Chain A
């Protein structure tokens, strides 16, 4: 049973797809099925509205998640009512999402559920903490990598990345994109002192000076950086951006003479929206990228079938991604 032992070392795990239809749910079902044989209290939740019965883009049917007796799950009221399993409600959130409040329940038998969850990072964090209060050893988050999602799966300790033909039907392209994502996930976390200095801050652009002090640069986001002559470096060469890392911001940074002295810190790896070429070029010129919150990648799962029905060679794909990923790569259907 590959990588389940690795997962059990962590208290929280997110499973994210690089694109829709990369086999994330299949991977999730595999993990849950394996976990039921371990004597651990497992809980399942999700980010935002991910977990619709039909995929919103391709209209392909999205399998419900199979959970097992004793496991806990958190989902919205709407999806709770559609469950096909006997479950005991243990809590209901006070705040409501677009699909109703969040219901926390314990499965009294094996069966299928639709999972949806907190729409923002703070809510997700709170939920993971609350589940730990219920005695849960491992919380699994059905995650999303989308700029539309306000909640970041990077708050979990560990992560499984699902990738596959849905990303690109060209193996070379697919491997390149996957490699890029894996590299971003692997970015180093900033020093604890900086994390402490910026604890509680959730937006804006900040600079860290040589003595480690944080200064608010009074810029709401990289999108409002309309006048790039604003001196970003008036306090120091380490810039922390809580919002999106845009193409323009990175292009501006890599054009600086002192690019090799610049450290750009993102909230987490999901905040990079610049082209992979721009990011690589910034690093090649000596720039440093870091994140405030890092998660550990434990495995990559591949789905060689695209939603249009195109099938790549599973073994070739697995080997090629294995070469660049640095973590075990599996085709769930082949284990």
Chain B
């Protein structure tokens, strides 16, 4: 899977991509073709490269700003390079593109000499530049220069002096023939450097992408995750998109700590306790790591998985004509089938069996949790139900704080929730619905009747 397709599927990934200030189409192409990596080595290499750039960006941002400025001029000429490789004679426009790329690559290379600015060395293109810049002007412009051939030079002089139309046309033809011979010759000489040109294009695209990723990492306060075999844990985990949304309303985001260890974790919590956001953030982070990004946390240890499977209720499947329950349970069945094939998965299920009655719902949650747990799957399942019969680890969102100093409204309610997670040994979901209803000022009679009903 490439970022290109994941960006449509993974909640919050679009926000990350949109906030990357990539300057060139080559850089954008590189980014969107980032693979979801499953090999530890590949992920670590990728993170180390980014780490290198992030470290320099923290102390010497200016150098990257200069380079990024230059990369605005980068053009995607992979078609031209491919024509060169195929043995075609390039036309003036293509030769110009190659010279333009070579000079740009040289400019970037010159900015990076004497200091480790990138974790790799920018390829040396001085030979192709020599071929395409016979006058050594170093200006990114191109034509078939007089200095390529004394014959050409003579024809052009005669052409300038020619007055008769017929003679003029004749000389034009001669000039074109000579120019064509030179183009063929230049293309042949350049062919030996096609691989280097290709590499230069990729390197500049990568540089563009890395700088943008590093700047975003610093601006958002992401951290470099450690790749581990012993489960996944995050300190101060946050969701960048939700944080931004809250910030615009002058509200703050409460980061949370969470650890998962090849086991199923059941999270219970009151309504509005941020359980769905936790799942979405876990999915986002797993993708970010395996796409070569840092993650929104202060500390992160992540185990790689083959696949992330998510069941978070949305209207889409319901629009397809399936009932909410049918859509959900079929989704869960797909997850179970996949889990039986390979255990290296991250499964995230929101409010499992929320669309059916509590008796059966509880059974569905318990069975799913136990089945996945026995398969050794890392999973997080959020639920409303109390007393789920499962030996799985249980966490609870702390929920409403005890001291509430003002009348609750939909606007301020978020400030009275403690979103952090705590181990829940009782297995009882917090009975906070009535309290919330009361705090929200729901009709007194209704609240009293609910309480009476509960006491029965």
Mutual binders A and B: yes
Q: Which A residues lie at the B interface, using CB under 8 A?
A: 77, 80-81, 84, 86-90, 92, 94, 103, 105-106, 108-110
Which of these, A81, A86, A94, contacts B175 with CB under 8 Å? A86
Q: Which of B142, B156, B172, B175 contacts A89 (CB 8 A)?
A: B142
Verify B25–A108 contact, CB threshold 8 A.
no
Indicate whether A88 sits within 8 Å of B97 (C-beta atoms), given known contacts A94-B25, A94-B75, A109-B159.
no
| A88 with B75: CB separation less than 8 A | no
B93 touches A77 (CB 8 A): yes
For chain B residues 120-179, which have a beta carbon within 8 Å of chain A? 140-144, 156, 159-160, 172, 175
Q: Can you name the residue of chain A whose Cβ is closest to the Cβ of B172?
A: A84
Task: Indicate which residue in B141, B159, B172 contacts A88 across the interface (CB closer than 8 Å).
Answer: B141
B97 adjacent to A90 (CB under 8 Å):
no
How far is B175's CA from A116's CA once the two chains are assembled, in angstroms?
25
Residues of A within 8 A of B142 (CB): 88-89
Cβ-defined contact, B144 with A106, below 8 A = no
Q: Flag whether B91 is at the interface (Cβ < 8 A).
A: yes
Contact, CB under 8 Å: B93 / A88: no
Which residues does chain B contribute within 8 Å of A109, judged by CB atoms?
156, 159-160
Contact A106–B25 (Cβ < 8 Å) = no
Known contacts A88-B143, A89-B141; is A80 also within 8 Å of B93 by CB? yes
* B92 at interface, CB cutoff 8 A: yes
Chain B at the A interface: SS class:
helix
Instruction: For B92, give the chain A residue with the smallest CB separation.
Output: A89
Q: Is the CB of A92 within 8 A of B75?
A: yes
Contact check, A106 vs B141: say whether CB atoms are below 8 A apart: yes
**Complexed CA–CA distance, A80 and B96 (Å):** 13
| B159 / chain A contacts, CB cutoff of 8 Å | 109
Distance from A308 Cβ to chain B, minimum over Cβ atoms (Å): 28
Cα distance, A81 to B159, chains bound together (Å): 19
Smallest Cβ-Cβ distance to A106: which chain B residue: B141
B contact residues around A105 at 8 Å (CB): 143
Contact B93 A103 (CB under 8 A): yes
Contact (Cβ within 8 A) B143 A87: yes
Instruction: Find chain A residues with CB under 8 A from B92 CB.
Output: 89
Q: In the complex, are the beta carbons of A86 and B91 less than 8 A apart?
A: no
Which chain B residue lies CB-closest to A94?
Answer: B75
CB-contact partner of B96 in A81, A89, A94, under 8 A: A89
Contact B25 A92 (CB under 8 A): no
Alpha-carbon distance between A86 and B142 when the two chains are bound, in angstroms: 11
Question: Considering only CB atoms, which chain A residue lies closest to B95 in the complex?
Answer: A89
Q: Which 7 A-B pairs have the closest CB atoms?
A: A88-B143, A89-B96, A90-B141, A88-B141, A89-B142, A89-B92, A84-B172
> With the chains together, A106 CA to B180 CA distance in Å?
20
Closest to A83 in B: B92
Instruction: For the complex formed, measure the closest distance between the CB of A297 and the CB atoms of chain B, giving whole angstroms.
Output: 36
Most chain B beta carbons < 10 A, residue from A88, A89, A92, A109: A89
Which residues of A have CB within 8 Å of B97? Answer: 92
Check if A81 sits within 8 Å of B91, measured CB to CB. yes
Partner of A86, one of B25, B93, B100, B144: B144
From DSSP, what is the main secondary structure of chain A's interface residues?
A: strand
Whole-angstrom CA separation of A88 from B142 in the bound complex? 5
* Min CB–CB distance A99 → chain B (angstroms): 13
Give the nearest-CB partner of A101 in chain B.
Answer: B93
- Cα distance, A64 to B357, chains bound together (Å): 80
Q: Which listed residue, A86, A92, A94, touches B143 by the CB 8 Å rule?
A: A86
Q: Which residue of A lies closest to B72 (CB)?
A: A94
Q: How far is the CA of A161 from the CA of B200 in the complex (A)?
A: 49
Q: When chains A and B are docked, how far (Å) is the Cα of A168 from the Cα of B92? A: 44
CA distance A88 to B160 in the complex (A): 17
* A and B contact pairs by CB, cutoff 8 A, 30 listed: A80-B93, A81-B91, A81-B93, A84-B172, A86-B143, A86-B144, A86-B156, A86-B175, A87-B143, A88-B142, A88-B143, A89-B93, A89-B96, A89-B141, A89-B142, A89-B143, A90-B140, A92-B75, A92-B96, A92-B97, A92-B100, A94-B25, A94-B75, A103-B93, A105-B143, A106-B141, A108-B143, A109-B156, A109-B160, A110-B160
Chain B residues with CB below 8 A from A86, complex form: 143-144, 156, 175
A81 / chain B contacts, CB cutoff of 8 Å: 91, 93
Q: Report the Cα distance A103→B172, complex, angstroms.
A: 21
Bound Cα distance A226, B433 (Å): 53
In this complex, what residue of A is CB-closest to B100?
A: A92
In the assembly, what is the distance between CA of A94 and CA of B141, in Å?
16
How many angstroms from the CA of A89 to the CA of B97 in the assembled complex? Answer: 10
Distance between B158 CB and nearest chain A CB, rounded to angstroms: 11
Chain B residues, Cβ within 8 Å of A84: 172
Query: Which residues in B have their C-beta under 8 angstroms from that of A90?
Result: 140-141
Known: A86-B175, A92-B75. 6 other contacts (CB 8 A): A77-B93, A81-B91, A88-B143, A89-B143, A103-B93, A109-B156
B140: chain A residues within 8 A (beta carbon): 90
CA distance A105 to B141 in the complex (A): 8
CB distance from B239 to the nearest CB of A (A): 33
Least CB distance, A187 to chain B, in whole angstroms? 39
Q: Measured between alpha carbons, how far is A84 from B142 in the docked complex, in Å?
A: 16
Chain A contacts of B143 at CB under 8 A?
A: 86-89, 105, 108
Q: Which of B91, B143, B156 has the most CB of A within 10 A?
A: B143
Name which residue of chain A comes closest to B75, CB basis.
Answer: A94
- The chain B residue sitting closest to A104, CB to CB, is B141
- Least CB distance, B79 to chain A, in whole angstroms: 12
Contacts of A88 in B (CB 8 A): 141-143
- Min C-beta distance of A154 to chain B, whole Å: 29
In the complex, what residues of A have CB within 8 A of residue B172's CB? 84
CA–CA, A108 and B135, complex, Å:
15
Measured CB to CB, the closest approach of chain A to B96, in angstroms, equals: 4
Closest to B152 in A: A86
Q: What's the nearest-Cβ distance from chain A to residue B163, in Å?
A: 12
List, in ascending order, chain B residues with CB within 8 A of A92's CB.
75, 93, 96-97, 100
Q: In the complex, which residue of chain A has the Cβ closest to the Cβ of B145?
A: A88
B79-121: which have CB < 8 Å to A?
Answer: 91-93, 96-97, 100
Task: Tell me, in angstroms, the Cα distance from A109 to B92 when the chains sit together.
Answer: 16
Closest to B91 in A: A81
Complexed CA–CA distance, A2 and B412 (Å)? 75
B165 to chain A, nearest CB (A): 12
Please give the distance in Å from A67's CB to the nearest CB on chain B: 14
